[in-house]
């Protein structure tokens, strides 16, 4: 089984991508399981094959323990650790080629705490896996926000430690010329550096951004483009995303070669 784990800030289009990529894979005769790992999901655009809300529902946790929405999500994710074995068995029982995992919206409560990456490792176990990290198109629309999105992508890479493909979601919202301009900045670090300096960014921060860009697309990596554009609405870029996913999964990169992240 191959695991594709979709991570990104709240509202970046994770659930829609699980839906669209799942349909795209099935149209190409690849069998797919869609897994909802978000205990706080109210509504999903796809019908999950495995759903953590069958084990823990954040709304119930909120009422039972008198917690706010974020506290309830933290508690729910912590509680899911006890069910990781059952969730894993359910995933295995689907016997599909690809497992698409939709993660909680509040990524700082999932990716940046210990339990989220721990649960992912339990589920993936010895299977090949890749993170698809989403940045909303509106967050790359100027050099400053593009730079901060690169840092967010890098800190996710650091935190989860699984090979990562970085994607600008909702690409249908960008004009083609704008997309080209962003691509130019990504492929030409000097251009990005100059744009940041022009916008009054501290030169040290601009330099760090260029380093972040390099770290997201190391030359030896099979994922050489730091960000690719995808739309779940128009299906733009899904073929390119699949090619990148396949390159990572069929290539030599494996999260087991990474430093293990802290265990609970």
Ligand X SMILES: Nc1nc2c(ncn2[C@@H]2O[C@H](COP(=O)(O)OP(=O)(O)OP(=O)(O)O)[C@@H](O)[C@H]2O)c(=O)[nH]1
Given the rule CB under 5 A, which residues bind Mg ion?
Answer: 14-15
Residue nearest to Mg ion (CB): 15
Q: Which residue has the tokens 């939709």?
A: 102
Instruction: Please list every residue from 213 through 252 that binds ligand X, using CB under 6 A.
Output: 231-233
- In this structure, what DSSP letter does residue 11 have? T
Out of 14, 121, 128, 228, the only residue in the binding site for ligand X (CB under 6 A) is: 14
- Contact with ligand X (CB under 6 A): which of 170, 195, 244, 249? 170
In this chain, which of 36, 129, 169, 195 binds ligand X, going by CB under 6 A? 169
- Distance, CA of 162 to CA of 173 (rounded, Å): 29
Calpha distance 216→214 (Å, rounded): 5
3-state class of 106 per DSSP?
Answer: coil
**Whole-number Cα distances in Å, 121 to 51, 222, 263:** 17, 22, 10
Residue placing its CB nearer to ligand X in the complex, 13 or 226: 13
Only one residue has tokens 């759903």, namely 51
First to last CA, the chain: 26
CB 18 within 8 A of CB 175: no
Establish if 8 lies at the interface with ligand X (CB under 6 A).
Answer: yes
Residue closer to ligand X (CB basis): 183 or 207: 183
Q: What residue is closest to ligand X based on CB?
A: 105
Residue closer to ligand X, measured from CB, 172 or 207: 172
Q: 16 is in the binding site of which of Mg ion, ligand X, none (Cβ under 5 to 8 A by kind)?
A: ligand X
Contact residues toward ligand X (CB under 6 A) are 8, 10-16, 38, 105, 169-170, 172-173, 231-233
């Amino acid at each position: 089984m191959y695991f594709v784990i979709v991570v990104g800030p709240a509202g970046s289009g994770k659930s829609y991508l699980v839906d669209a990529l799942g349909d795209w894979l099935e149209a190409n005769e690849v069998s797919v399981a869609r897994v909802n790992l978000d205990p706080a999901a109210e509504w999903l655009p796809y019908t999950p094959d495995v759903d953590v809300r069958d084990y823990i529902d954040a709304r119930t946790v909120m009422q039972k323990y008198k917690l706010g929405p974020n506290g309830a999500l933290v508690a729910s994710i912590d509680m899911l650790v006890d069910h990781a074995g059952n969730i894993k068995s359910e995933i295995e029982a689907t016997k599909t080629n690809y497992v698409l995992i939709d993660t909680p919206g509040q990524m700082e409560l999932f990716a940046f705490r210990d339990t989220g990456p721990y649960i992912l490792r339990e589920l993936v176990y010895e299977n090949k896996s890749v993170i698809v990290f989403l940045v909303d198109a509106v967050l790359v629309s100027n050099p400053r926000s593009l730079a901060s999105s690169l840092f967010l992508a890098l800190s996710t890479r650091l935190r989860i430690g699984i090979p990562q493909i970085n994607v600008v979601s909702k690409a249908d919202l960008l004009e083609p010329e704008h997309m080209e301009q962003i691509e130019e900045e990504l492929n030409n670090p000097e251009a990005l550096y100059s744009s940041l300096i022009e916008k009054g960014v501290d030169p040290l921060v601009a330099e760090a951004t260029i380093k972040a860009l390099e770290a997201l697309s190391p030359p030896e990596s099979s994922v050489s483009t730091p960000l690719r554009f995808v739309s779940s609405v128009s299906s733009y870029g899904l073929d390119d995303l699949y090619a990148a996913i396949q390159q990572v999964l069929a290539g030599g990169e494996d999260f087991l070669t990474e430093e293990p992240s802290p265990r609970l």
